[in-house]
Structure 1
Amino acid sequence: MNYSWSRPEDRIECRAGGRVLFADTIDHWDNAVRRLLDFDEARGQAWVERVLASSPRPFPDCGPEEKIAALCQGTQAFFGIEQDAEPWSASDYAALDVFGLKADRLWVRGVGRELGVEVIGPVGIEHGILVDRATRQPARAPVYEEQYFEGKTHGLGYGNYLAQSDWRMEKSRRYVRRVAAIAQFIGRPTGAGTRLLDMGSGYGFFRAAAAEQGWQHEGEDVSAYAAKAGVEIFGFPTFVGTLEQFAAQTDATYDVVTLFDTIEHIADPEAFLHVVAGLLAPGGLCVLRTPNLRALEMEIFDRHQHSLKLEHLHYFSPASLCHLAERVGLVPEFTTTESHLLAGFLGPHLASIRQQLRGSDLFFAASKP
């Protein structure tokens, strides 16, 4: 089939046979889809065409499950993903403890082009941990300095983080609204004077958005480079060190502790959340965002899913977040998912996918009794 591409006004469209088969906004296509998948224009278009060609009939005429099947088939063919014939045995990881449970499932083998790792974990709570296949040990975190934020190492870090400032500021304002809405929903409203601790605060975009609402804020990050950037951009001082080191030097407690795209980087999330619980005031709220192991994108992209990264040591699900929160004495209050990457293919079906908790990222809140 012959496909043609055009950019009418603020949209990008793929047509065949006189019909629009795929459409997205230019902003989302350029700054979300191609950025997250690390595609140039030609490769992005080739991926879309491979998916459309995998559909048994014109893509817009398909139901949601047919579209998802075409996405799975076309995407895995495009990436050349084949099932690894090497058998997997839970006994290889018998000594590994995952929040009091044993690893009894292989979730995905490999991360992108790196096949020396795999994500395994307990099926009962749907949790994954990144392990080295050779040593059978948990993978180690990278160094979070300039190369991680602004470098070009394939499959690691952000790359051009500062260049995305406008988008990151807009996203941070959206996250502040979301935190406030969650707090209001569970009867713990925020307002001017709300005491916020932002863990893994990076360059400080979320803190800047919180300050616009009159929140009092502090930040922590293990990256001296990110903390220095926060001072240069916003004038915010940031504690440089681990959460345990931060907690040891303060007697303060907080109404809200946020962990956006942070907990997946932590080698021992249970110990980490235990410290978070100690920093919360009674009735305080911990709100986190993290990739969703049970996301539809995991099914479609397999080891090429954009949230599968060598620096992501843990992969959570709604069940595993609830399990972990309860183990450290927090009360799970709210869970939702968000998903946007596949908007050009799935459009209005994404709302149902999010409601089924199959979105690509989890938003989770737990309170301190």
Structure 2
Amino acid sequence: MGSDFYQQSILPYAGIIIKICRAYTHSQEDFEDYYQEVCLQIWRSRDNFNAESKWSTWIYKVALNVCLTHLKKRKKGQQFVSDALPDEVHDDAKAFCSDEINLLYNAIKHLSEIDRAVILLYLEEKSYVEIGEIIGANTNSIGVRITRIKERLNKRRSEHMSKSIEAMWKQGFVSEGELSAPKVNDLYNRKSQNIVDKLQKMFAVNIKAIVIGALVMLVVMSLIGAPWLGVYICVLLAPLVLIARKELTKSHNLSKGQSSLEYLESFDTWLKNSMDTYSKYYRFFYPLFYIGMVTQGLASNAGGKVMALLLKHYPTEYVLLDIPGYVWAVITALFLVIVRYSEALYRLDLDIIYGRQFKKLDELITDMRALKAQQ
């Protein structure tokens, strides 16, 4: 995001973004993250702006979409648009100088996500048509919904809220210039550190999960009468744990005495090199794991009985170690497939676990490079 674009097209409307983000966050850190995401999304989607609409209306729409999307991600498995009220709201600190505004925001945060958007737009004196356009709702239902929301807010009024919500809002924001917007560069710096910290924590958790998984497999295999398979799996996973610890240490040793972009780029370089290192090991891990599982299956009593039944019902002249030739053919074919696609299996596993964070890292580096190019 170019600094000129931010200064000319976003900063004059920072008050809008601040008011909306404050309604969907409960800490200064979350607020600053949401504020930055809104600014980035405005920049990324600027070509989609319809010139027939007001730029301020576009900013309202983008800001609400970003906040609602973030809440949706945090509440997976729950109903997104709901009239259910949260039991309790916690705020780290007062967001504004006006006590009445802080109390009003606290009441608003007890509303459902969509109702928060509706009442914010109403307090910003948007028409029912504009509110319907921004939130994508039927205009005819807006008036009834606002009345219902105001009734809920009035039930939550404290003794310090003597004025109407309209008066508190209007007097609390005499000038949008009084609303303090976070510094974008500072947000980039913290965001770059946050995403690195998060990935490093995920890598550390993954190492522990591998160790615990290996021990669980050893116990389970012992209980079902296959202790050697459990030992075999532990032996296969041991080098992986050693490699993971070594690579994680390298990431912690990266120099932080550089710009955020340089730090992210060095982390990204380390990440790609680390993935290549893992990939080389997994080329052997998957085939060897497959061999171990097949060997145990064929050597077990159950495997022997299955082979006997196959020979009885589907006899063949080609038998090796009491195993039909066609079974050997299937085993060999699957082995070759695993050898051929072992790296692809690793990449798929990687994408499932870390894909979303890797995408965020790439987007952040792209944005920061664009910002640097336009400065």
TM-score range, shorter chain: under 0.3
* Higher helix fraction (1 or 2): 2
TM-score by length of 1: 0.21
Larger radius of gyration: 2
TM-score by length of 2: 0.21
The structure whose RCO (Cα within 8 Å, separation 6+) is larger is 2
* Higher strand fraction (1 or 2): 1
